[in-house]
Chain A
Amino acid sequence: MDYFFELFLGGMTRGSIYALIALGYTMVYGIIGLINFAHGEIYMIGAFTALIIASVLAVAGMPDFAILALATLAAIVYSAAYGFTIEKIAYRPLRSAPRLSPLISAIGMSIFLQNYVLLAQTSDFMPFPSLIPDFTFMEPYAHIIGSSEIVIFGVTALAMAFLTVLIKFTRIGKAMRATAQDQKMAMLVGININKIISVTFVIGSSLAALGGVLIASYIGQINFYIGFIAGIKAFTGAVLGGIGSIPGAVLGSFILGWTESFATGYISSDYEDVFAFSLLVLILIFRPAGILGRTESKKV
């Protein structure tokens, strides 16, 4: 039973991280119907920025708490800036192009960013300092659940709550929903859809950066390629829950996290990624709309 519980928590941790990335996918897909292939790379850039800033600050002799705060902030700012720029360069000119064009552009962007980090930094795995401190009050429970896991769950829950409030109850959230429903109509009622789409990218990218910092400090190493696999898995989570739906993305990511965790724990650890990809393929074949998604009928 202990083993089961360990796997359960492990799956939940994975799921939380996937969820933070999946939220970005789902928001972008919901609003412009594009699979933002470069989203995984934004998460990777967030992790790298955090590592670089943390190293610079550590050399300068800053206290741990300041390093954690500033490195996370830098990761969020930079990922958001990258997300914003990518949308502007690679997707905006293609908004009225055939459906495959922005997707190919996104794949190109993803390859470009991977190799940009590879050339500018290194192809080796870099050790990532564990930024999250061990809480003293958690010590009695340390054998069940670590401090980083608590932080990861907490951040994911907060992020989801924040997004739900933002989308349901604020002016900009209303504008986002309107843009997602019908861009032309949204424009007619005076919504600046370019601005709304940029905001969506910025929020999605910031969440990815948060995920990047958390998982890098949890696993302890990063390289330029982490974004690709994490991106596909988060996408799987988003599709599993029903792409475009925010609670769906979180639910789907958790299911994916548990599937991976239990399958590797009870079956074989060699095929970790195969389980995720198979789940993706099966979901898309049997229920493309996802668990919480609605099937939309198309008008001809």
Chain B
Amino acid sequence: MPGFSEIKKAFLVSLWFIFLTFPLMVIRINPYENLVSYRWANLFLVGGATFFLSLLSDFYQLKKKETALNNIARPRPKFHLHSRFKRPLAALGGLLIILFPFFFSSYQVNIMTTALIYVVLGLGLNIVVGLAGLLDLGYVAFYAVGAYSYALLNYHFGLGFWTVLPVGAGLGALFGILLGFPVLRLRGDYLAIVTLGFGEIIRLILENWNEFSFGPGGIADIPRPSFFGLQMSLTVSTIYVYFLMIAFTFFTVFVVNRLQNSRIGRAWVALREDEIACQAMGIDKTRTKLTAFALGATWAGMMGVMFAAKTTFINPASFTFLESAIILSIVVLGGMGSIAGVIIAALILILLPEYFRAFADYRMLLFGATMVLMMIFRPQGIFPGHRQIYRFSPERGVEK
């Protein structure tokens, strides 16, 4: 039960926020007709909500203190799936994935494909931000490079999806290296700003260089992916793209998982934790960071090609900073360095606003709030990744 002092504090907090939000939330102006109207309902809404939130945060902090005191000796029990259930569950999941497009409309399938694109983008950015600890705010630039490389190569030379896919990936990696080479010696927060600037430069060039990129109007009539030259109806093609994305997702998960536990993956994590110690252990800092950057950009480039092929129309407006921010909040919400976390976070963040339309207006507001709240209350994400631990026992040798 909250005591008197908590209630008093919550009351003061709500008063402060009523004051803070008064001009923006309550007053509404119409500068063209010189009219001013007041929305008093908002005032009570803000007051009530902040009062409640203040009590909630007090309660949370109290709880945290208690558990911290109780749990000193006892480690938290780890959630572990019994191996007997693993196979049937995987089979069920696989069945659901395969049957999904045949039971739902192509609109739903399209949404799911978009969500899967974000899953892969999240996994790609996870390499850079989650594993290597390099905050990349211009990730969408590589996505744009991929998308435009398909659109332009197709427009000028008539190249098909499968030809451009590796080209897009390669161009993504090339841009990653081009950007990464000069900036990687910068400190973390400067790196974030430079990548942000780079992302904006790419978008502005695409927007203004009409001869090259057709400007803000974008490029239309990009062909969908082909399947050995087979003619496909729109519905069939949607389902085909869905399965392509499923395959891509599995491929990405496989590669990222292998990378994580490889020599270079461990070097990334080590670099994230302590650069100096890492260099002392003989890890080439520049090369390791550059690999992370290039690999992350590769996925973005590939997904760009995929995106262009899926929507058949691209313009620079699809590649704003907000897009980078969405992908970043996927990684942050899911847990930096955690594959399962990123997949689940991407599905939540992309599917939720699609199915709850009322929610869609508040989408970016909630993304922003999520990033702040996650950093404060759960910086490791909803599903934190766990490090592979190797133990050595004299009888059995090294075991995982």
Contacts and interface: CB of A to CB of B under 8 A. Distances in A.
Interface of A: 34-35, 45, 48-49, 51-53, 55-56, 58-59, 74, 78, 81-82, 85, 89-90, 93-94, 97-105, 107-117, 119-121, 126-127, 129, 228, 232, 235-236, 239, 270-271, 273-274, 277-278, 280-281, 284-285, 288, 300
28 contacts: A35-B193, A51-B31, A52-B29, A55-B34, A90-B372, A99-B189, A105-B372, A107-B137, A107-B325, A108-B329, A108-B375, A109-B368, A111-B365, A113-B368, A115-B364, A119-B365, A126-B29, A232-B196, A232-B197, A239-B193, A270-B208, A274-B201, A277-B198, A277-B204, A281-B198, A281-B201, A284-B193, A285-B182
B20 A100 contact: no
A35 B192 contact: yes
A119 B362 contact: yes
B110 to A, nearest CB: 25
Contacts of B187: 288
Interface of A, helix, strand, loop or mixed by DSSP: helix
Contact of A116 (B27, B35, B365): B365
Interface in B115-133: 133
Contacts of A300: 276
B321 A108 contact: no
B23 A49 contact: yes
Given A89-B372, A232-B196, 11 more contacts: A51-B29, A59-B35, A99-B188, A107-B137, A108-B329, A109-B368, A112-B368, A120-B24, A270-B208, A277-B200, A280-B194
Given A35-B193, A273-B204, A281-B197, A111 B371 contact: yes
A113 B28 CA distance: 17
Contacts of B208: 270-271, 274
Given A104-B135, A112-B365, A126-B31, A52 B24 contact: yes
Interface residues of B, number: 57
Interface of B: 16, 19-21, 23-25, 27-29, 31-32, 34-36, 42, 133, 135, 137, 182-183, 186-190, 192-194, 196-198, 200-201, 204-205, 208, 276, 321-322, 325, 328-329, 332, 361-362, 364-365, 367-372, 375-376, 379
Nearest to B204: A274
